[in-house]
Amino acid sequence: MNATTHTATRAEVCAAACADLFRGDGEIVAAAVAGFVPMLGSRLARSTFAPDLLTTDGGPALSGEPVPLGASATTVEGWLPFRDHLWLVLNGRRHVVMGPSQIDAHGNTNISCIGEWERPTRQLLGVRGGPGNTLLNPTSYWVPRHSTRVFTGKVDMVSGVGWDRGAHEIRRVVSNLAVLDFDTPDRRMRLRSVHPGVSVADVVAATGFELVVPDEVPETRLPDAEELRIMREELDPKGLREREVPS
């Protein structure tokens, strides 16, 4: 074990896993709207192995450089107001990370409401851009609290379409416990790796449907020393990531 094994927090492991979502994406917009951790991950990817990635400062500015969480872009390389963002969904040069309230085994997701849509028991956001994002763009998900309430057998309202409903690509789900993907013949969710300190049984117990679990489940990679430095000193000096995923 090297030094970082002992020092990387769970949130930092999650952020590095979110950075890995963008490997191979090239020169597209990373729309990591689901929270601090995926936002940090996208900017970390750009700061390290994916320099061509386009990122925003959380507003309509495409920043010239990866921007620290919560800061505004000092150099702006492009303008992406909401209307152009919505057209970009159709254009396709975009990988979005959303936060589902519910997700099923094929990656169908719900952010609209809990219960019957006609009269929900809990009204949530509404479908937002979920239907378009999932149909037309690579989509990943970030779940800061992995539980059977989120990972459920059937979502109450399909706001984001899964692999079995014509999704363009549901790439991965990063949670506070594990990384999951759909690299199975029938595109069912598979346990890709568990974060250090998490057991396979922990993930299975927190998942409300039958997960595909390979015989050997590796540990999620640790961020290297340079990635830790960039997260801690440059991109998230206030430690907002730690608020989202308490260690």
- Residues engaged in binding another protein (CB under 8 A): 59-61, 79, 81-83, 86-87, 89-90, 112-113, 117, 119-132, 134-136, 157-161, 165-167
| Residue recorded with tokens 């399909």 | 158
CB of 130 to another protein, least distance (A): 7
Nearest CB to another protein, comparing residues 16 and 158: 158
Nearest CB to another protein, comparing residues 140 and 220: 140
3-class DSSP assignment, residue 192: strand
Nearest CB to another protein, comparing residues 125 and 201: 125
Nearest CB to another protein, comparing residues 30 and 96: 96
Alpha-carbon dihedral angle through residues 191, 129, 21, 66, given to the nearest 10 degrees: -150
Type of residue found at 192: R
Residue 73 Cα to chain centre, angstroms: 22
Partnered with residue 98 across adjacent β-strands are 141
Partnered with residue 194 across adjacent β-strands are 178, 219
CB of 112 to another protein, least distance (A): 7
CB of 171 to another protein, least distance (A): 17
Closest CA to 206 of 166, 181, 175: 175
Type of residue found at 11: A
Cα-atom radius of gyration of the chain, to the nearest Å? 17
Q: Are strands 138-143 and 94-98 parallel, antiparallel or unpaired?
A: parallel
CB of 69 to another protein, least distance (A): 14
Nearest CB to another protein, comparing residues 54 and 61: 61
CB of 115 to another protein, least distance (A): 9
